[in-house]
Structure 1
Amino acid sequence: MLNPTFTAPDLTTFTNLDGLGLTAIGQHLSAAKAEILCHVTNPIPWCQTCGAAGIPRDTVTRRLAHEPLGWRPTVLVIKHRRYRCANCQRVWREELSQAVAPRQKISRTGLRWALVGLVCHHLSVSRIAEGLGVTWNTANEAVLAEGQRLLIDDPTRFDGVKVLGVDEHVWRHTRTGDKYVTVIVDLTAVRDGTGTARLIDMVPGRSKAVFKTWLADQEEQWKQGIEVVAMDGFTGFKTAAVEELPHAVEVLDPFHVVKLGSEALDQTRQRIQREQHGRRGRKDDPLYKCRRTLTTGLSLATEKQKTKLEDLFKEPEYEPVQLVWSVYQKMVDAYRQPKPEVGRWALEQLINEVGTKVPKGLPELKKLGGTLRRRKTDILAYFDHIGSSNGPTEALNGRLEHLRGIALGFKNLAHYIARSLLETGGFRRRLHPQS
């Protein structure tokens, strides 16, 4: 701005008091905090019961935590006048509902600042409490209550959900107590290419009954709108979806399908290692040295890695590992096909082959074939619904891990669920459209 036009300083506007119905009339600054003296801009000096004029009785002072200025805690010192009705003798105070919610110690602007800090800037409650100059409990209770009222309790929060993702999540790492929750995610924007995944609910426990009960509690019209349910290999989620959403398509995402092949490969390698050497692998054992290379996609392997595999498979005792490795590579290659119909055909042929023609002495491959055969429809459904993968759900779980790290862990599950919904519930743009 080359030629700025300056106006007279306005403390009311600078401190965002005009939206609270307050006017700043003084200030006191110290190294620890800033205090803004203010009064109600438009008081109501007449009785709301009989309409008679009120007689000023006295003035009380109310202190509210406000959004910090330059990270210096700011306090609103409100000169709050009381009146007595000359007719009915009723006593009332000037109205402050525009500035603060009932029984709150933080102004509405301060709450908004705290909620944006929590949702958009990933601040901890401790940092928010420090900025507001209040205790942790005061900040936590106020911010969660405001987030619940403004965002989580929004009746339109579930609107437009067409693709569901469901997965389990570990919310705490302790030896005692239930540490699992079931997360339900909206993947519609991911499939349509219009946005990211968002958490819509989190339920204590992980079982078929948990997911089935949650689905049963939803409105029938909403359930009829669900087209796809993306999930991992847990059969409980599968049966719950079939029973409650019989019209929806269940999709087993590529990550978990490939993981099944990777686990079968690792188990075969470990079994052959024990059979050949009578112990677990050591750093100089050929199988142990190739453990990472074996699970690398062949199209991404370097020449050195390919040479290492060729040398390994020259040994006849490692033939079982080579057979399972070849199945694993075909699984990876099917998902990497540029055309979905080609990938679907390749994976279907592989499932039919592994599900029926498994050489003897390969229990890991037989188990893998049985799993692929049972979930064949869900696995192949991915190619008909590209974008409806549970991968974004796994990524969202990673964000929740980060949230738990910021807070140094949670003890209260209700607080964790509320914080998780605020952190990953898609509220960022609603609170901070510029982000």
Structure 2
Amino acid sequence: MPHATFATPDLTTFTGLDDLGLIAVGQRITADRAVLECRLAVADPWCRSCGARGTSRGSISRSLAHEPFGHRPTTLLLRVRRYHCQHCGARWREDTTSAAPERAKLSHGGIRWALKALVIDHLSVSRIAAGLGVAWRTANEAVLAEGRRVLINDETRFDDVRVIGVDEHVWRHTRRGDKYVTVVIDLTPTRNKTGPARLLDMIEGRSKASFKAWLEARPEAWKKGVEVVAMDGFTGFKTATQDALPHAITVMDPFHVVRLAGDALDDCRRRVQQQLHKRRGRKDDPLYKTRRTLHTGTSLLTDRQCDRLSALFTAEQHIAVEAAWEVYQATVEAYREPDRTRARQRMEKIIAALGKNVPDALPELAKLGRTLTKRATDVLAFFDRPGTSNGPTEAINGRLEHLRGSALGFRNLVHYIARSLLEAGGFRPLLHP
């Protein structure tokens, strides 16, 4: 006696054919492939010209790659009926657009599965093609076309953007052509604590002109809604923002300010190393041994690390490194200060101290002081708008690096931009059932 909670097996429902307007009439399953014979659920024998009932002329077969089941590529063998009208002589075949686009090699279910595999599961196109049992180019063209249609070309993805981040990104490591692009990130979800940041768009080139042209191409309503633009120290992004979004606040985020201080510390350490030893650092050199410890926050140092730094700074020839280290640590501590007013005051003191009377023996700190003084307004703007950081932008850059590695590199920028948007464009919730 059948169990009350179970129903008769239904291959059509299990394989999602009812959503395509099909019914399964047969199957052939082997170790490496499953073939489902199917027909349209509702026949359409009526003449398109005169409306009379047509006469069957047999059927033809159409093969469609479908969503795989049981780790087997699944093919739909669709029997398409052909008809002839004895009244007006018209000939036609059944309309199969409910099952697949015209001339497509993938069913709608197969395309949907491929798009989910790419966006949600982060599978490579090679693995998607293997799952569908089709060529790489077939899978790639189908999934990118569907991704552009339902996700990338949807203008509503630009809605409600209030905070954006902009940064450069290296999309290829070759000598031919421009290797840089500009990435624009929507930081609104991270500021509002409603979700992760997402890739909004990717622009060819890295310049003021390219970013300004992208901003000016946006609708006026969208530009008026942008309140804050987070960026690094590149002045081209700042001037482009001032020209295209004069009302927006530019913020030089903590990630890049701390990195500037860290770069000054590293440059100072290398210079002193060369002056003392006339060569690069080696594993037994005190400066080289402490290169990572110098970047560790003072509150996180172990006793052993503290002893190592004390021994390093005892030597008079390392006094320049000690000065650069103190500036770096002061910068870190300013951003770690929970009280925003005191944090801002700390940063103001650092900028003021580096903006004047820096000894000639500390060229790295003098350079840092010039940069911070020039961008003081942007640096201090962060403390008035907490949560505005380009850190998520760097995180998305890391995801794009992983994408490029999984694909073993890209040669076509248009293809790379589309893949990057599908990878980090925040489309995952839209594809969940």
The answer for the alignment partner of 2:276 in structure 1 is 276
- Which of 37-46 and 355-364 deviates more? 355-364
Q: Which amino acid aligns with 2:370?
A: G
Residue-by-residue CA offset, 1:321-363 (whole Å, 9 max, x unaligned): 2112111111010000112221111101111111123123211
Q: Which amino acid aligns with 1:345?
A: Q
Shift of 1:289: 1.9
Question: Alignment partner of 2:157: what SS?
Answer: coil
Identity %: 61
The answer for the alignment partner of 1:109 in structure 2 is 109
Task: State the alpha-carbon separation in 2 of the partners of residues 136 and 280 from structure 1.
Answer: 47
Q: Which amino acid aligns with 1:59?
A: S
Question: Alignment partner of 2:364: what SS?
Answer: helix
Q: Which amino acid aligns with 2:355?
A: G
The answer for the alignment partner of 1:98 in structure 2 is 98
Question: Alignment partner of 1:184: what SS?
Answer: strand
What pairs up with 1:282-293 in 2 under 5 angstroms? 282-293=282-293
What pairs up with 1:18-417 in 2 under 5 angstroms? 18-417=18-417
| Structure 2 unmatched runs, 5+ | none
Task: State the alpha-carbon separation in 1 of the partners of residues 248 and 106 from structure 2.
Answer: 46
Question: Alignment partner of 1:229: what SS?
Answer: strand
Task: State the alpha-carbon separation in 2 of the partners of residues 285 and 95 from structure 1.
Answer: 77
CA contact under 8 A between 1:25 and 1:39: conserved in structure 2? Answer: yes
Task: State the alpha-carbon separation in 1 of the partners of residues 413 and 214 from structure 2.
Answer: 17
Shift of 1:226: 0.3
Question: Alignment partner of 2:174: what SS?
Answer: coil
Question: Alignment partner of 1:369: what SS?
Answer: helix
| Structure 1 unmatched runs, 5+ | none
Question: Alignment partner of 1:241: what SS?
Answer: helix
Shift of 1:65: 0.6
- Which of 297-306 and 367-376 deviates more? 297-306
Task: State the alpha-carbon separation in 1 of the partners of residues 321 and 57 from structure 2.
Answer: 90
- Which of 409-418 and 160-169 deviates more? 409-418
Residue-by-residue CA offset, 1:6-26 (whole Å, 9 max, x unaligned): 111111111110000001111
CA contact under 8 A between 1:313 and 1:319: conserved in structure 2? Answer: yes
Task: State the alpha-carbon separation in 2 of the partners of residues 361 and 401 from structure 1.
Answer: 39
Q: Which amino acid aligns with 2:9?
A: P
Residue-by-residue CA offset, 1:89-140 (whole Å, 9 max, x unaligned): 2211111111101221100001101100010001111111111111001010
TM-score after normalising by structure 1: 0.96
Task: State the alpha-carbon separation in 2 of the partners of residues 101 and 215 from structure 1.
Answer: 36
Shift of 1:291: 1.7
Cα RMSD (Å) of the superposition? 1.3
Shift of 1:86: 2.7
Shift of 1:4: 6.5
Question: Alignment partner of 1:203: what SS?
Answer: strand
Q: Which amino acid aligns with 1:404?
A: R
Shift of 1:87: 2.4
Shift of 1:238: 1.0
Residue-by-residue CA offset, 1:193-241 (whole Å, 9 max, x unaligned): 0000111111111111111111111111111100010111111111111
Task: State the alpha-carbon separation in 1 of the partners of residues 11 and 273 from structure 2.
Answer: 75
What pairs up with 1:417-432 in 2 under 5 angstroms? 417-432=417-432
Task: State the alpha-carbon separation in 2 of the partners of residues 285 and 431 from structure 1.
Answer: 54
Question: Alignment partner of 2:156: what SS?
Answer: coil
Question: Alignment partner of 1:157: what SS?
Answer: helix
Shift of 1:273: 2.0
**How many pairs are equivalent?**
431
Alpha-carbon spacing, 1:361–1:392, altered in 2? closer, same or farther (3 Å):
same
Task: State the alpha-carbon separation in 1 of the partners of residues 66 and 280 from structure 2.
Answer: 62
Task: State the alpha-carbon separation in 1 of the partners of residues 139 and 285 from structure 2.
Answer: 57
Q: Which amino acid aligns with 2:14?
A: F
Q: Which amino acid aligns with 2:70?
A: G
CA contact under 8 A between 1:43 and 1:95: conserved in structure 2? Answer: no
Task: State the alpha-carbon separation in 2 of the partners of residues 137 and 85 from structure 1.
Answer: 40
Task: State the alpha-carbon separation in 1 of the partners of residues 122 and 173 from structure 2.
Answer: 22
4+ runs of 1 displaced by more than 4 Å? Answer: none
Task: State the alpha-carbon separation in 2 of the partners of residues 360 and 97 from structure 1.
Answer: 75
Task: State the alpha-carbon separation in 2 of the partners of residues 151 and 278 from structure 1.
Answer: 57
Question: Alignment partner of 2:65: what SS?
Answer: strand
Shift of 1:275: 2.1
The answer for the alignment partner of 1:7 in structure 2 is 7
Question: Alignment partner of 1:275: what SS?
Answer: helix
Task: State the alpha-carbon separation in 2 of the partners of residues 227 and 238 from structure 1.
Answer: 14
